[in-house]
Structure formats: C-alpha cells, structure tokens
Amino acid sequence: MEKRDAAIDSTFAAAHPDLKTISWCIVVKVKLENLGPGEVVARDVKDHRGRIILDAGKAIQKKHLKIFKVWGVTEVYLENHQPKKNLSLPDGISSRQLEEIQLEMQKLFRHNPVEHPVLKELFDLCVKRELTHRGGKGEGETQ
C-alpha cells in the first residue's frame, strides 16, 4: 500500500546518536490512517508552509495524530515500518465479492495506468468505498 523509498536518512541518524553504528536505515512513507501511537518519525513532520510540527526522532503520541489531521499532514516518514495487513473486509462481504469489485474497478480504470502512485491510490480508495457501500447495504444479510 505505501510507496517505499529506501533512503539514507541523515536527519534520523543525527537524532539518534546511539545508532551511529548503523550507517543507514530504511525510511518508509506512511499514510496517516496507517499510523499508530509509539512509532518514531524518521524526518521532521511539517505542515504545508514548512512549519515543523514534530521533530525527527520523536515518538508519535495519540494527540499528534489529531494535530497532523488538523494541519493537513497526510503522510509521515517512519523508520522500518511494518505495514498493516491489507484491506479488512467489512461485515457481509466475502472475498469473492472483493474480487468482483476489483474487476469492475479495473474495467472502469482501463484507460489509466493504475501502477502510478496517484492512480493506485485513487483505485484503492474506490475499491474501499465500494466495499463500504455494499457492506452497508448488505447489513443483516447472511453469507
């Protein structure tokens, strides 16, 4: 789900002098919705004007998640983040239905390169949205 870009991150290394023995670490861009408290940010978190909201090397607290949202931060850089499992299926949706939805979406997006990050994001969001819609409609139905 996340775009992975491996980079030698000097900011993170500077903020962690105890990690000097490690010459580099993998930095991953993670979306706000996939973040949890306790994770350590690898780069300064800034708002759209460049104002620093959280320094590199600090751990994210619950309140920070709210602050990020308020200031329009949508993604942060974390060190060696383990991505969460893929989409969780809402109640009343089977994996077969998920495949059906994905197939429908592929038809809908057939004129677009869905491997490009922005289109992949739009595609995934549309699948997720359709899942929620059908899940909501299918409430009370037995599978």
Look at the block and give the residue holding tokens 């903020």. Answer: 15
Separation of alpha carbons 129 and 17, rounded Å = 44
In the complex with other proteins, the residue whose CB is nearer, 14 or 108, is 108
Q: Which of residues 76-95 bind other proteins (CB under 8 A)?
A: none
What minimum distance in Å lies between the beta carbon of 23 and other proteins? Answer: 29
In DSSP notation, 96-135 reads HHHHHHHHHHHHHTTTS-TTSHHHHHHHHHHHHHHHHHHH
Pair 122, 129: CB distance under 8 Å = no
Out of 16, 31, 46, 84, the residue judged to bind other proteins by CB under 8 A:
31
Q: Least distance from C-beta 3 to other proteins, angstroms?
A: 8
CB of 39 to other proteins, least distance (A): 16
Helix, strand, or coil (residue 81)? coil
Span from 4-12, 14-22, 85-93, 119-127 in contact with other proteins (CB under 8 A): 119-127
Q: 39: which 2 tokens?
A: 């994770």
Q: Using CB under 8 A, pick the residue from 62, 63, 96, 111 that binds other proteins.
A: 111
- Can residue 122 be called a binding residue for other proteins (CB under 8 A)? yes
Residue pair 126/105 in contact (Cβ under 8 Å)? The answer is yes
Nearer to other proteins, 10 or 74 (CB): 74
Give the integer Cα–Cα distance in Å for 136 and 139: 5
Q: Which residues bind other proteins (CB under 8 A)?
A: 3, 31-33, 72, 74-75, 107-112, 116-119, 121-123, 125-126, 129
